[in-house]
Structure 1
Amino acid sequence: MTLPHKLPASRLLTAIVVVLLAMTSMMIASTVIALDSLSNARARSVDRVEPAGRMAKDLNRALLDEETGLRGFVLTGDDAFLKPYLDGRTTEVESAESVRDLIGDVNGRVGRIEDLARQWRGQYAEPTIAGIRLSGPVISSTRDIDRGKVIFDQLRVEVAALQADIAELGKTARAELSYAASVVLWLVIGMGVLLVVVIGGLSLLLHRLLIAPLADLAHHTRQVASGDFAHQIDASGPRETVMLAEDVDAMRRRIVQELETLDAAKTELQRSNSELEQFAYVASHDLQEPLRKVASFCQLLQRRYGGQLDERADQYIGFAVDGAKRMQGLINDLLAFSRVGRLTREQTVIDLNEILRQVLDSFSERIDETGARVVVEELPSVRGEATLLSAVFQNLISNALKFRGPSDPVVAIGAERDGETWKFTVHDNGIGIEPEYADRIFVIFQRLHPKDAYPGTGIGLAMCRKIVEYHGGTIWLKTDVDSGTSFEFTLPVVPELVAQAEEVHV
């Protein structure tokens, strides 16, 4: 019984469709034949037998009209009494032909009726009419009356027998009609039952052959996706499902291999990070000591021998002092950049209003010196490290004061809720940044101006991006501003603070 499970699903579905089409065709053909029989039975009963019964009654009525008209003419001799006789002859012929056309000459009775009618007219009616027209009304002989009565009584018997035969035909036709209707009804009921059985059986078959194997494969796949990469995937069912299971299992084995490779790479990365930490320690201690000596002795030379040497010597000494200081700044900034996300502290809920107040206090002299105005809206509380988030605002405000325009600097800082994040905006009226540099400015040590034009190492915005991303946010340059520079960044909303605020509003 397992052999069909190895067949392709397309072949299984084709076989099911062929069987369904064959069964449907048989049921439709049977129903068409039954409906045709029902239609024929109805046509025979309604369109032939019933009209034939009415024509037989008309035939009987026409014969009676002929007899009645003849009797009146015999008694009165008035030709007006012959009108029913003459009209009856016409109706008799038409009725007899109609009965023959509708149901044929049943048991030869129509022909016998026509023969007896001609015999009655020829042997009794016509001679009687001719005799009365010659000699007037007379009492016919008893022998002629008896001969006419015998023939007409035979006519009555044949007409009654014809009506009985037609009634029997009607009964048979109604029985056939009822039988055909019953056959159609049972066929319709059978089709309904068969349809229910087929749909139920097809559902069970599809569930067993397709749905159940796919559900089993999905269960194994979810188990692997949950982290159990050692779980082997094995599925039954159609060939396509088995092949899909084999492909998924091959992918699982490939993931296991990649994870083993990643584990080795992780070990190597941990070793490399350890070496980098050792380098950072050397750079922060051993490497800065010679730099401090170079800078201090160059400054001593500048103070003691400044003006005693020629102008070029003073310039060389200035270059040496400036280079040593710049090297110290680069090393310090590089160390600070490397520590972000590596030397982690516990993240707490921080009031950014307090953080920004401390930052503005540290920039108070520069703000007074530049005549700057800082406009701060109410800021939310977020979860993070206070020192790092303080560095973000320090760098952005510092850039706003550094790259100021001809007018006094104006810095606007605000925040708004954007779904599950807070979006912060820091906008200034400085010289601005061209949109094509929107990505470049966040790369470490990337500068848009010569080092002599503006101070700094070019690491501030790279530091901001690393800090914001470390806190689960994103930072970018807003390029659709009319003037100045506008930075925007996001930080996650603290759920417990939102819940507390909702309770307060309630």
Structure 2
Amino acid sequence: MSDETRSGDMIKQEWLTKVGLSLALFLLVLISFITFNSVDQFASSSRLVEHTHLVIKQIDQVVSDLKDAESTQRGYLITGDGIFLKTHYDILAQLPSQIATLRGLTYDNPAQRKSIDVFEGLIDKKIAVMRSGINALEERNAFHSDEIAALVGGEGRLAMDQLREQSSLMIMVEEKLLLQRAQEVEAKARSTKLWILFGNLLAIVLLLSAFWLILWEIKHRRRAQRKIEKNAAQLELTNKELESFSYSVSHDLRSPLRAIDGYSRMFEEDFADRLDDEGRRLLSVIRVSSKKMGQLIDDLLAFSRMGRKPVDSAKVDMNALVDEVWTEVCASSKTVLPLKKTNLPAVWGDQALLRQVWMNLLANAVKYSSKKEEQIVEITAKQSEHEVVYTVRDNGVGFDMRFYNKLFGVFQRLHTENEFPGTGVGLAIAQRVIVRHGGRIWAESKPDEYTIFNFSLPKEAVA
């Protein structure tokens, strides 16, 4: 084979190698996009499900208030006591705002808005029936028991039955929406799993093909260089290592992302000098992308599992827990920082889950204040009758409060990857843990000055 032919074959093999690596990179990016899109749809569907539960709860609240109003009216008719009448009017005064809230929750559902119009008409009818009984008592001062029964029953009972029937119809519509959204989430989850599975398998096939082409190229270069170099033993050892490496890749399909990253790293260490700049760049991008995708998937699984993991409540010593987490955060960031901490009251909760909350908040405080000459991290607590509010403050880069609505979203970040590494799941996990404990979490910040995270936990265990 002439040198010109050999050179042409080597150029062709190098081109094929770049094409294989580029296609593998494209697949990784595509799968990352699909995964991110699936997570975004999952979060959106979760919000819709929560919204449906709020509508159902609001409908039940309106019906419950009307029952209470009816009970206080009956009490007034029986006893003539003005306390019952005052309570009755107080309840009725709240109904317009309750209806307005219900309308706001269903502004995007024309069918439900029409149902609310009917619902409100029935409410007005029921209120009119109750008012007529009150007016009659004021005219006569007293009723016999059979007269009270006639006032409470008849039109009053019919109006309440109609209200219950209408509320049941509205709730049925919401439950149908809930079922439909759950089915959509399930279908999207199945589609995403298939994309990830087949995409990873195809990416592995492309990488194996690229590795095979590289091995072929090395083999021919070794033959060409054998005449001028006397390091056959080293080349033979290298070839054996590559064959062993290729064997491992072909059999380690249970964790494709780790295989892609691990073998890419080994190849970069051993053969970077035999690739041109573009080949080395593509190899580096594959490693970074595979690691990022692996982290995204791991964080998504952690976020999903966090919603299913049972809360094992016990008395938690917050002082000891924070000290333990702070030691670990400092060790992980390779810094020794003073921690300003007041006494932290103990609460009831799942220590493992609360440890994750502290880990995320304190790690963020250290990370986002790392560019300050003097890092300051403070932890305080404030007790009320039923809850304890814990506060974590740092003097880091902060964030713009205009983007606060993105702060606790899954994979939502207010800083770029180049500024501060991360996937944007930590605060979403912290919020889910706090909410499952019956608490709440919120924040305030001023760019380049401070960030304050607050979260509350009940003093007693949540049933």
For the pair 1:245 / 2:156, whether they are aligned, the reply is no
Q: Which entry has the higher C-alpha Rg, 1 or 2?
A: 1
> Is 1:203 matched up with 2:142?
yes
**Could you tell me how far 1:357 is from its partner in structure 2?**
2.0
SS in 2 for 1:451: coil
Instruction: Note if contact 1:424-1:490 (Cα within 8 Å) is conserved in structure 2.
Output: yes
How many percent of aligned residue pairs carry the same amino acid? 26
Letter in 2 for 1:327: M
Pairing 1:420–2:392 present: no
Please say if residues 370 and 408 of structure 1, whose CA atoms lie closer than 8 Å, have aligned partners that are also in contact: no
Residue 354, structure 1, aligned to residue 337, structure 2: no
The answer to whether the aligner puts 1:318 opposite 2:284 as a matched pair is yes
Matches within 5 A, 1:88-487: 202-204=141-143, 208-209=146-147, 211-213=148-150, 235-236=153-154, 239=155, 241-251=156-166, 253-254=168-169, 257=172, 261=176, 289-366=255-332, 369-404=334-369, 405-479=371-445, 483-487=449-453
Q: TM-score, normalised by structure 1?
A: 0.48
- Structure 1 residue 486 displacement after superposition: 0.4
Match of 2:17 in 1: none
- AA in 1 matched with 2:348: R
- DSSP-derived class of the 1:413 partner: strand
Q: Per the alignment, do residues 277 and 393 of structure 1 end up closer, same or farther by CA in structure 2, a change over 3 Å counting?
A: farther
Gaps spanning 5+ residues in structure 2: where? 1-128, 202-252
Alpha carbons of structure 1 residues 412 and 321: separation in structure 2 relative to 1, 3 Å: same
Distance in 2 between residues matched to 1:243 and 1:314, nearest whole Å: 80
What is the identity, as a one-letter code, of the residue corresponding to 2:433? I
Cα distance in 1, alignment partners of residues 189 and 312 from structure 2: 22
The change in CA–CA distance for 1:450 and 1:482 in structure 2 (over 3 A counts) is closer
CA separation in 1, counterparts of 2:277 and 2:425? Answer: 34
Partner of 1:306: helix, strand, or coil?
helix
- Highest relative contact order (Cα 8 Å, sep 6+), 1 or 2? 2
Asked if the contact 2:396–2:448 (Cα under 8 Å) also holds between the matched residues in 1, the reply is: no
Q: How far did 1:454 drift?
A: 1.3
Q: Say whether the 8 Å CA contact 2:315–2:349 is kept in structure 1.
A: yes
Deviation of the 1:485 alpha carbon? 0.6
Is this contact kept in 2: 1:438–1:479, CA < 8 A? Answer: no
Opposite residue 353 of structure 1, the aligned amino acid is N
Whole-Å separation in 2 of the counterparts to 1:255 and 1:271: 25
Residue identity opposite 1:383 in structure 2: W
**Is the CA contact (8 Å cut-off) linking 1:384 and 1:471 kept in structure 2?**
yes
Deviation at 1:254, TM superposition (A): 2.6
The answer as to whether partners of 1:401 and 1:409 remain within 8 angstroms in 2 is yes
TM-superposed CA distance for 1:392, in Å, is 0.8
Q: How far apart are the structure 2 equivalents of 1:361 and 1:299?
A: 31
Structure 1 pair 450–278 and aligned structure 2 pair: CA distance change class (3 A) = closer
Q: Distance in 2 between matches of 1:377 and 1:470?
A: 26
Change (3 A) 1:390 1:16: closer
Contact 2:412/2:424 (CA < 8 Å) preserved in 1? yes
- String of CA shifts for 1:370-412, please: whole Å, max 9, x gaps: 4532112221222222221111111111111111142221111
Give the CA deviation at 1:249: 4.0
Cα distance per residue 1:179-224 (max 9 Å; x no partner): xxxxxxxxxxxxxxxxxxxx5xx4125x644x4456x5xxxxxxxx
Q: How many residues align?
A: 281
Match of 1:191 in 2: none
The one-letter amino acid of 2:368's match is: F
Residues 364, 257 of structure 1: CA spacing in aligned structure 2 closer, same or farther, 3 A cutoff?
closer
SS of the residue 2:324 aligns to = helix
- Structure 2 Cα separation of the partners of residues 387 and 366 of structure 1: 19
Q: Secondary structure at the match of 2:340?
A: strand
Cα distance between partner residues in 1 of 2:297 and 2:288: 14
3-state SS, counterpart of residue 379 of structure 1: coil
Would you say the 8 A contact 2:397–2:447 is kept in 1? no
**1:344 Cα shift?**
1.4
Question: How large is the RMSD of aligned CA atoms in angstroms?
Answer: 4.0
Residues 1:431 and 1:253: Cα distance change in structure 2 (over 3 Å) = closer
SS at match of 2:383: strand
SS at match of 2:273: coil
